[in-house]
Amino acid sequence: METALLTDTHTHICDTVFDADREAVLVRAAAAGIGAVIAVGEDLADAKKNIALARDYPILKPAAGLYPTHLDRAAAAAMMDFIRAHRRMLAAIGEVGLDFWVVKTSEERNIQREIFTSFIDLALELDLPLNVHSRSAGRHTVELLLTHGARRVQMHAFDGKITAARPALEAGYYFSIPPSIVRSRQKQKLVRHLPLESLLVETDSPVLGPDPQARNEPANLMVAIDAIAAIKDLTRAAVSAAVAVNTQTLYGF
């Protein structure tokens, strides 16, 4: 194969839209040169499903997290208990973070910050990577991560400006690029300014595909690789090799 085996570092493979053909989706992923898929979740049901699916499909690396719009302290506490109990099975804590696109009031945002901080502390306690959501809250999310000493961090589908990304870059955080880069000037600009050494790739399936009207899937990861290669005037193989090394550095596989 001309390219290194890749990891889709952020995919909602537990989503019910994959229930009818999940195995075929994962077969296509493997055929496209994907060696691992990090299966993120949004709640406890997702976390349990991801672990169960990983037993059936070795390509899957399960993660567990509480989506930022769940402003429920009890749910966060239950998720933290679950993560501690299943730490050896988990590739990451995610997805977690801040979302100021949906969450608007100061009171709700403070709850969101509180919950996210608890997951940052847990990631440090358990030495697990954080798979981080930061929609319309890039600068605030990076500030919180840095303030609380987060070390192993993936900024998933970062939608902020390069000025907001730079402190995260300096801290050694990684930025994962989805196939939607082909239709996103913001993502294209981000890739132009970020060094290859800071990039990962993801699909965020079933969303953020090259076609916004079609279901995305892990096999589309190469769309992101090719877009990065075109922007940086590199070969597909060079980009694949670099992001494979970056993934190994952050996740250990």
| CA–CA dist 66, 76 (Å, integer) | 7
In degrees and rounded to multiples of 5, residue 39 shows phi and psi of: -90, 100
Domain of 181: which CATH number?
3.20.20.140
**Is residue 1 over pLDDT 90?**
no
| CA–CA dist 247, 245 (Å, integer) | 5
pLDDT tens readout for residues 13-39: 999 999 999 999 999 999 999 999 999
In degrees and rounded to multiples of 5, residue 52 shows phi and psi of: -65, -45
Q: Examine residue 1 and state whether it is found in any structural domain, yes or no.
A: no
Which amino acid would we find at residue 240?
S
What does DSSP say about strands 130-133 and 92-97: parallel, antiparallel, or unpaired? Answer: parallel
On whether the pTM is more than 0.95, the answer is yes
Q: Examine residue 130 and state whether it is found in any structural domain, yes or no.
A: yes
Q: Examine residue 99 and state whether it is found in any structural domain, yes or no.
A: yes
In this structure, are residues 165 and 190 in contact, taking their beta carbons and an 8 Å threshold? yes
| CA–CA dist 71, 60 (Å, integer) | 28
Residue-level pLDDT at 2: 53
pLDDT tens readout for residues 163-220: 999 999 999 999 999 999 999 999 999 999 999 999 999 999 999 999 999 999 999 9
- pLDDT-derived band of residue 253, with 50, 70 and 90 as boundaries? confident
Token pair 């910050």 in the structure block, residue: 113
pLDDT tens readout for residues 44-73: 999 999 999 999 999 999 999 999 999 999
- pLDDT-derived band of residue 4, with 50, 70 and 90 as boundaries? confident
Q: Residue 99 is part of which domain span?
A: 6-251
Q: What percent of the chain has pLDDT over 70?
A: 99
Closest CA to 224 of 27, 17, 33: 33
**How many separate domains does the chain show?**
1
Q: Examine residue 66 and state whether it is found in any structural domain, yes or no.
A: yes
